[in-house]
Structure formats: C-alpha cells, structure tokens
Amino acid sequence: MTQVFYSSTLFGTMTLAAAMDAGRFGPHDGRRVLLVSNNAAIPEVTPSLDEAPGFAALRPRFDEVWSWNDIVAPLHPSDWKARVIEVPMLERLLRSHLSLGEGAGELVLESVAVPPARTVAALIRDCPITVYSDGLMSYGPTRDPLPLEISGRITRLLHLDLLPGLTPLLLREVGVAPDPLPDAAFRRVLEDMPAVEGLYGEAVILGQYLSALDIVTAEEEAELHAGMLRALAARGHRSVLFKPHPAAGGGHARLLRGVARELGVDLCVAGDAVPAEVCFLALRPELVVGCFSTALMTAHRLFGIPIATMGCDVVLERLAPYENSNRVPVTIVDATVPRLAPDGSIAEPPEADLRALVEAVGFCMQSEHYPALREAAARYIETHGPQARYFKNRRLASVGLVPAPEPARPRPLSRLRRALSR
C-alpha cells in the first residue's frame, strides 16, 4: 500500500513524523510518498521545507519526496485547482507521475478545506483521507464547506493536544473524530532535530505575518514587535531572540535590530527555517512572548516555559470577515495566556470558560454548518453577555443570538426631502 502525505511547513512535517513514530500510520511496510508545497507569496525566492536544515532528520521516514510546486508550475499552488472537466485526466497524470498504480491506499493532508490540500484531495481519489493539524486552527470550525466526495472519505483528525480537555471543532460537522498525538512523540522528534549554532537569548519574541494577511499594516506590526522588545527590556532582559515567521521576510528583523540598539538589548535573530520549538529546546528561555502564535502553546505545553501575549485586542478588533479562520486561535490565546503590558508587567486574563467560549465563537463563525452549537452559544451569551472583545453585535443578531436592532425611524425632514425628490 502506498501512503501519500502532503505538507507545506517543517512544523507540519514534524507533526507527521511524531504521528508515524506513535504508530498512527501502522508499520512502514509500503511506500510513503511526501508531497511538499511552498505556499509563500513568491515561492521562487523562498526556500521550500525540504531545503530547510532540519528536514534531513525527518527525510528517512519517507521513501520519496516530490515538489507540488514543480508539478503545477508555473501556477501558484495556493491559487490553482483543477476544473471539474479536467479532474479525470489530471488524476491519471498525477497517478502516473507518482507511480501510484491503481491509486493510493491512504492520503494524509493538512488544511483540507483550501488549496493546495483540497486540490490534492480532488485528484488523488478513491482512498481514505487522514487530516492532521499542527496548530490552534484545529480548535476552530472548518473554514469552507467540503464536497461530499472529500468529506465522506475523511476518517480521523490527528492533532497536537495543545489544550487538554478542549475538543477541536475542525471537521466536527462531518462526524470526524479527533485523535490527539502524544506529547512525548513530538518531543522525541524535536530532540532528533539538528542543533542550531549561535542562538542565544533570555527571552524569545515570536514573529508572525499579520500585515501579509492584511490584519494590521506593516508599520503596526513592526511597532507590535518593538513594543514586545521594550516590555522585555523593562523586565530586565538584556538578550532576546527574535524568531520571525518563515513567510514574513526579513524586514521585521531589520527594524527590530534598530530598536534593540536604542534599548541596549543584544538581539539575536533565528533563521526563517528554524522551528520555534528547536529554539525553545536549545535555550529554555525565561519567557516567550508573541501575539497568538501556536508556538506560544507549544512552549508552555511541551517545555513548561512561561508565556505572554501582546496585541490580541487589536487583532480581534481588526479581523474580517468574522469567519476569518484566525479568530479562534487569537480568541484562545487572548482568553488563556497572560498579557504583557508596555511597562513589562504581566497580568492574568479574566477567568473564562474556554470550551463554552470557543463553541460560541465557532457557532457565530459558521452557524449554518454547526447548528448543534446554537444552544451552547445562546447559553454562553445569556450567561456572559455579548462580550465586545469576542463578538460583534451585528454578527450575534445575524445568527439569532440577540434581537436585531430596530431600524431607525426616518425624521420628518428626511421624509419631506424624499417626497420632494420624487
């Protein structure tokens, strides 16, 4: 049997490795083929995950590695999908290209609701699908509805157990059971990754790519990183590691170096391809701060490192549309992670019923696909009120959790103007 795995990040491939080591894919009796995809905005100038230094430690788990970018070139993998009339032909071509014979025995995908993974699922057919999730997005609802041809084949959801006791919403609407991976398996994968020379820092700042997602402007994101650095300096940290997001480019690091010089802080910048968890393992920092990165949770869950967040309030206010798939991750971090203030102080967030909050937000995001959550969402709003931080009144009204506001009655002068215009 041939198992086909798809991954677009080194962290995702590490998650696959942990699942393999934990026996989730059975013995390595048949072929294991890995499709790697570089989904960066300009993949031609961004190294793919199989070019990252740490990939060599993961490579022996796979018999073959193929580039999805090469297969669909010159099209961008995140934009291209096969037209219905082309599927049978392209399926045969892909099957021949990967030497799948009569087909794959199992297909393993991340982010199945969107291309490239959704495109791969449409072309490698007639086999069961395992979905794996390597981050906080697994706790949110499925981003887009899936056709029955794909959803009917999904048998399980593998995910890191970042929040014990909280069950993922992802794929719950199609009856897929979540299967948490053991922490120990993922830690062993990390320990086998090659050490990175030259890293140092008493604290770590996690960069993201919020401006690339149009959540904030590039200037605001740079100021957010600068604010984190100033707060760490106020706490007495004189050396800080900045871990930029792989898709963010080098601009954030250049700007942050200037702020570090003004503050007298020794700033070390980790390479784009270095997983944040490898930094945690090597440095065991005193504090990790970020906005709503999944790595905040892995730092605390896997290594017991103190964590703090900054900027969630701005992101919650800016996220649009309400269904944005980042909403549940930022809600989770905002509701559970201590908050770092500009003066360096850290305050615990107000106590929250996390499961009820996530289900209420998830229902408001995708009410048509998660009708079973309506009662729980209504109960949460009744108990806690329509918290403006997490809910918008217009969205609550549109899904029927609060009464719709009455339309404003036109003033007499307005009626006169309309009559005159007629």
Q: Are 213 and 247 in contact (CB under 8 A)?
A: no
Helix (H) or strand (E) holding 374: helix 374-384
**More confident call, 226 vs 411:** 226
Q: Are 131 and 156 in contact (CB under 8 A)?
A: yes
| C-alpha span between 199 and 234 (Å, rounded) | 22
Residue ranges of domains in the chain: 3-192, 203-347, 354-398
With b meaning 16 or more CB within 10 Å and e meaning fewer, what string describes 361-398?
bbbbbbbebbeebbebbbebbeeeebeeebbeeebbee
- Only one residue has tokens 């008493």, namely 202
157-198 tens-digit pLDDT: 999 999 999 999 999 999 999 999 999 999 999 999 988 889
Cα–Cα separations (whole angstroms), residue 405 to 7, 217, 363, 387, 402: 46, 32, 20, 17, 9
Q: Which of 73, 72, 71, 68 is nearest to 111 (CA)?
A: 68
- Where residue 147 falls (left for φ over 0; alpha for ψ -120 to 50; beta otherwise) is beta
Structure tokens at 34: 């890995």
| C-alpha span between 150 and 137 (Å, rounded) | 20
- Do 3-192 and 203-347 fold alike per CATH? yes
For the ranges 53-57, 96-100, 262-266, which has the lowest average pLDDT?
53-57
Whether the link from the prior residue into 321 is cis, omega within 30° of 0, is: yes
Q: Could you tell me the pLDDT band of residue 300, with boundaries at 50, 70 and 90?
A: very high
Helix (H) or strand (E) holding 299: helix 294-303
Please provide the CATH number assigned to the domain covering 203-347: 3.40.50.1980
Q: Could you tell me the pLDDT band of residue 414, with boundaries at 50, 70 and 90?
A: low
pLDDT value at position 270?
93
Cα–Cα separations (whole angstroms), residue 20 to 15, 62, 167, 277: 9, 10, 22, 19
CATH architecture of 3-192: 3-Layer(aba) Sandwich (3.40)
With b meaning 16 or more CB within 10 Å and e meaning fewer, what string describes 206-232?
bbbbbbeeebbeeeebbebbbbbbbbb
| C-alpha span between 304 and 309 (Å, rounded) | 16
Main-chain phi, psi angles of 310, to 5 degrees: -150, 135
Residues in a beta bridge with 3: 32, 106
23-52 tens-digit pLDDT: 999 999 999 999 999 998 888 888 889 998
| C-alpha span between 3 and 36 (Å, rounded) | 14
| C-alpha span between 100 and 1 (Å, rounded) | 9
Q: Could you tell me the pLDDT band of residue 410, with boundaries at 50, 70 and 90?
A: low
The whole-model pTM stands at: 0.92
The fraction of the chain above a pLDDT of 70, given in percent, is 95
